[in-house]
Amino acid sequence: MKAIAYSEYGPPEVLHIREMEKPSPKDGEILIRVHATSVNFGDITARNFGNISSSQFNMPGFLLFPARLSFGLRKPKRQVLGSELSGVVEAVGKDVKKFKPGAEIFALLGMEMGAYAEYLCLPENKVIALKPSNLSHAEAAALPYGGAMAIGLLRKANIQPGQKVLIIGASGSIGAVALQLAKYYGAEVTAVCSTPGMDYVRTLGADHVIDYTREDFTQNGRQYDLIFDVLGRSSFNRCKSSLTPKGRLVYVSFKMKQLLQMGWTALSRGRKVICAMTVENTADLEQVRSLAETGKLKVILDQTFPPEQAAAAHRLVENGGRKGSVVITF
Ligand SMILES: NC(=O)c1ccc[n+]([C@@H]2O[C@H](COP(=O)([O-])OP(=O)(O)OC[C@H]3O[C@@H](n4cnc5c(N)ncnc54)[C@H](OP(=O)(O)O)[C@@H]3O)[C@@H](O)[C@H]2O)c1
């Protein structure tokens, strides 16, 4: 079978096509014929992990070394990227109960990766659900990560109808779903992204759009009940005047400083910092399917690429300014 592999950290060009043995399902596993997989933040980060500095690492610095050990210090341990997929169950191992051959599924693999391949075996109890029936494989492959993360993270934000919500990073995987969910929960949503993504976030339902390359939202005099910052690049001190008196600044990515701010703002009755974490789970993925099937979540594709052009797909995501999801189809 064909896979997109890499054996050293580096730029998109380290990705290459490799012939690998087709796996066969063990007891409790399903064999998936992968139709599509996305290119997302995790793939770009993992591809270049050996070269990531502590300031580029979007988590507390003390986690960088354990993360390096887990990814592989000098060379990547897991040589096939891909944290989400859409495909068809081709065969099942002994004792598999949830899925039958022929079932169309989508799945979230997280940092275990491996979806950049024509076939993949997964234990049936991993984060796998039936694919939304109204979406193509290419569309469905772009939803599990952003969808499940946004659902889990927004749960911590406790959005209420009528609230004013600002989403920083609204054109990315998590932000695009968070925007649509916030609208679904009845909020008035302002999306922040760069110039190329402005029409994209409007199509997803944003009421207002701010281009961060031209406007600093902290200077426009508007206030929000919730600021949802995906990459964690904002500062609480600068955001204070943009938060309503009981407003919350939710960091999806955070360092020690934000964790400490969460600690001391927890004691206050006023504005709060929340460093939100979520864990991949099947219930959230099933909710993603149901929201997609009822038209509450849509997927807009920027571009799809064949496996041979995986490097171009990575470059498109890495350069920023996406106008939709970027997907590799097998
Ligand atoms: N807390 C958790 O449980 C959890 C779980 C998963 C992931 N994460 C974190 O989530 C982050 C990745 O999110 P993602 O996959 O949605 O990323 P993504 O797809 O790469 O999207 C990033 C977004 O941020 C925007 N952006 C880039 N630079 C910006 C700036 N200076 N100011 C404002 N916006 C900017 C981008 O817009 P343009 O492209 O237009 O520049 C894009 O909309 C990572 O840091 C990861 O560690 C956290």
DSSP states of 235-269: -HHHHGGGEEEEEEEEESS--HHHHHHHHHHHTSS
Which residue lies with its CA nearest to atom 35 of ligand 1? 169
Q: Is the CB of 261 under 6 A from ligand 1?
A: no
Cα distance between residue 231 and residue 318, in whole Å: 14
How far apart are the CA of 322 and the centre of ligand 1, in A? 11
Q: Is the CB of 147 under 6 A from ligand 1?
A: no
Q: Which domains does the chain have, with CATH numbers?
A: 2-142+299-329 (3.90.180.10), 145-275 (3.40.50.720)
Calculate mean pLDDT across residues 24-30.
98
Give exposure, 191-230, as e/b (b: 16+ Cβ within 10 Å).
bbbeebbbebbeebebeebbeeeeeebbeeeeebbbbbbb
Q: Is 295 left (phi over 0), alpha (psi -120 to 50) or beta?
A: left
- Judging by DSSP bridges, how do beta strands 243-251 and 272-275 pair with one another? parallel
How far apart are the CA of 19 and the centre of ligand 1, in A? 33
The DSSP call for residue 72 is -
Calculate mean pLDDT across residues 223-241.
97
Cα distance between residue 237 and residue 247, in whole Å: 13
How far apart are the CA of 324 and the centre of ligand 1, in A? 14
Q: Is the CB of 193 under 6 A from ligand 1?
A: yes
pLDDT of 54 reads 87
Q: Report percent pLDDT > 70 for the chain.
A: 100
Contact call for residues 19 and 119 (beta carbons, < 8 A): no
How far apart are the CA of 193 and the centre of ligand 1, in A? 10
How far apart are the CA of 72 and the centre of ligand 1, in A? 24
Give per-residue pLDDT as tens, 271-302: 999 999 999 999 999 999 999 999 999 999 99
Q: Is the CB of 174 under 6 A from ligand 1?
A: yes
Give per-residue pLDDT as tens, 85-137: 999 999 999 999 999 999 999 999 999 999 999 999 999 999 999 999 999 99
pLDDT beyond 90 at 261: yes
Ligand 1 atom with least separation from CA of 232:
45
Q: Is the CB of 123 under 6 A from ligand 1?
A: no
> Encoding tokens for residue 75?
């060379």
Q: Is the CB of 57 under 6 A from ligand 1?
A: no
Ligand 1 atom with least separation from CA of 320:
39
Contact call for residues 49 and 6 (beta carbons, < 8 A): no
Ligand 1 atom with least separation from CA of 175:
16
Q: Is the CB of 218 under 6 A from ligand 1?
A: no
pTM of the predicted model over 0.85: yes
